[in-house]
Amino acid sequence: MARVVIMGGGVSGHTAATFAKKWLGNKHEVVVTPNSLWNWIPSNIWVDVGEMTKEDVTFALAPVYKKAGIDFRQAKALGIHPEGKEGSDKPYIVIEYTSKEKEGQKEELTYDYLINATGPKLNFAATPGLGDANGLGEHTVSVCTADHAVHANHELQKVFQKAKTTRQKILVGTGHGMCTCQGAAFEYIFNIEHEAKEAGVRDNLDIKWISNESFLGDFGMGGFATSSKVFAESLYIERKLDWVIGAHVNKVEAGKAHYELLDGTMGVEEFDFAMLLPPFAGVGLKAYDKAGADITDTLFAPNGFLKVDANYAAGAYENWKASDCPHTLQNPTYHNIFAVGIAFAPPHPISKPMSSPNGTPITPTPPRTGMPSAIKGEALVR
């Protein structure tokens, strides 16, 4: 029976793994993921305002996979060798263990089918001051992981405490001109507004939205049902949330977010508390051919996401069609490699691409969210 290796045990990867086990009855299924816990990321939005705990949104993977008979390796994938190596045509990946018992150990894992479900690299380093290669910086908070969300709630409660005596400013949105996930920030700003009312400090808070959308309600999809702009603006104004849109945050420092607007003007927003989403990139997997030459460009797009059966040559916005999107999520060069969830490279954005007169791209990238990620995992196995 074929060996299926799934890189990533998140929303997509875990869904693919469990359905593959159920439908294919595969005895040779391996899940490789660096985290020991599964996280329902969409619910981190409740953790970061204290409505849920980290334990409510995570569970340990090892016992689940043991019960299901799935080989679980707590490790990160470093590289893909789709053509094998000298002396063997069998494709394999190189993994490095992250578990305490085997930390740092490397191993080669052969596969017949490979599913890339590695999710996003949270590219905090893309905006100076937002973070670096190690992750989140010290000036802002994040809602992207359960641990980030716990930290965000601690900081938010401190601000609520200060707001009892001193007016505070909260800034929420996207931390780069090419971010996705505006929906997560949208949920967060309204959660904060609600919690502030509950805490009795709403009147002493200025809460402001900043994003790369060209209009409120874009959400990376160019709006929807033609009413999302009207709907979103109406909600924001009802809850007295101010907004700056068409913004590329280009630098963050203590208490300040610098940005450039679509019209080329520059601005700065001061804050006491800020949640600014990072842009996404691929996790940085490399690929090598049989001779060991780097073929990363063959498998991956420049943003680090895996190429699949999408139309990457659609060209200008006017030519974009829904049929540009992938159907089988299969890599066009190595047909036994697939990508699901956030790990695949979309053909192009959905929102109309825009740039400032300075040439700075300020466009939401295609939205990525939990439910479709899980559905893709299931659909891929089907």
Stretch that binds another protein, among 29-37, 41-49, 154-162, 239-247 (CB under 8 A): 239-247
Q: Name the residue nearer to another protein (CB basis): 231 or 312.
A: 231
**CA 201/CA 179 separation, integer angstroms:** 30
- Outline where the chain has alpha helix (H): 11-24, 44-47, 54-57, 61-68, 146-163, 182-199, 228-238, 296-299, 370-381
- For another protein, the binding residue among 56, 132, 198, 242 (CB under 8 A) is 242
Q: Is 221 in the site for another protein (CB under 8 A)?
A: no
**CA 250/CA 264 separation, integer angstroms:** 13
Looking up tokens 């929906």, which residue turns up? 183
Q: Name the residue nearer to another protein (CB basis): 242 or 297.
A: 242
Q: Is 233 in the site for another protein (CB under 8 A)?
A: yes
Do residues 40 and 11 make contact, with C-beta atoms less than 8 angstroms apart?
Answer: yes
Number of residues in contact with another protein, rule: CB under 8 A? 12
Q: Name the residue nearer to another protein (CB basis): 209 or 271.
A: 209
Stretch that binds another protein, among 133-141, 147-155, 226-234, 247-255 (CB under 8 A): 226-234
CA torsion, points 366, 368, 374, 376, in degrees to nearest 10?
Answer: 20
Rounded CA Rg of the chain? 22
**CA 126/CA 366 separation, integer angstroms:** 18
Nearest approach, Cβ of 154 to another protein (angstroms)? Answer: 29
Residue type, 341: G
Q: Is 11 in the site for another protein (CB under 8 A)?
A: no
Nearest approach, Cβ of 246 to another protein (angstroms)? Answer: 10
Q: Is 234 in the site for another protein (CB under 8 A)?
A: yes
Under DSSP, the state recorded for 216 is T
- For another protein, the binding residue among 111, 190, 219, 236 (CB under 8 A) is 236
Q: Name the residue nearer to another protein (CB basis): 243 or 305.
A: 243
Under DSSP, the state recorded for 343 is G
Q: Name the residue nearer to another protein (CB basis): 83 or 193.
A: 193
Residues that bind another protein (CB under 8 A): 230, 233-234, 236-238, 240, 242-245, 375
